[in-house]
Amino acid sequence: EVQLVESGGGEVQAGGSLRLSCAASGFSFDVYSIGWFRQAPGKEREGVSCISASDGSTDYKDSVKGRFTISRDNAKNMVYLQMNNLKPEDTAVYYCAAVGMAIATMWIPVREYDYWGQGTEVTVSS
């Protein structure tokens, strides 16, 4: 059974940090690129960051560049999203997702992702 399980969400004040984790199982993790997405109430799901399977290259949404860092540990089937200097506009449910592509960029449509987690909620208060 394919599973992606997010954890690490919570409530923080603006300027604070959180580290999200995504635990993967049931598929060949090391050949899948992984993306982090978020969805705020009343808004569409949007890509935040992604990391490639082939070389670990990364890509970010412009508004999080310099604040968020994505990483992966293929030995543990884990992906992380370190979020620093959080802002109220970062408030959303965050999802990790897997796509069967060697290289990932922010241009890959949401619909192309094969597997999704259930999400973890992040709330940033001002």
| Average of per-residue pLDDT across 115-121 | 98
pLDDT 10s digits, 2-20: 999 999 999 999 999 999 9
| Per-residue pLDDT at 100 | 95
pLDDT 10s digits, 53-104: 999 999 999 999 999 999 999 999 999 999 999 999 999 999 999 999 999 9
| Per-residue pLDDT at 66 | 98
What's at 52, amino acid-wise? S
State the average pLDDT for the chain.
97
Contact 74, 20 (CB under 8 A): no
| Per-residue pLDDT at 72 | 97
| Average of per-residue pLDDT across 96-113 | 93
| Per-residue pLDDT at 23 | 98
| Per-residue pLDDT at 6 | 98
Q: Is the dihedral of CA 84, 2, 34, 43 positive or negative?
A: negative
| Per-residue pLDDT at 29 | 95
124: which 2 tokens?
């940033």
- Distance, in Å, from the CA atom of 37 to the CA atom of 119, rounded to the nearest integer, reads 9
Closest CA to 87 of 9, 14, 12: 14
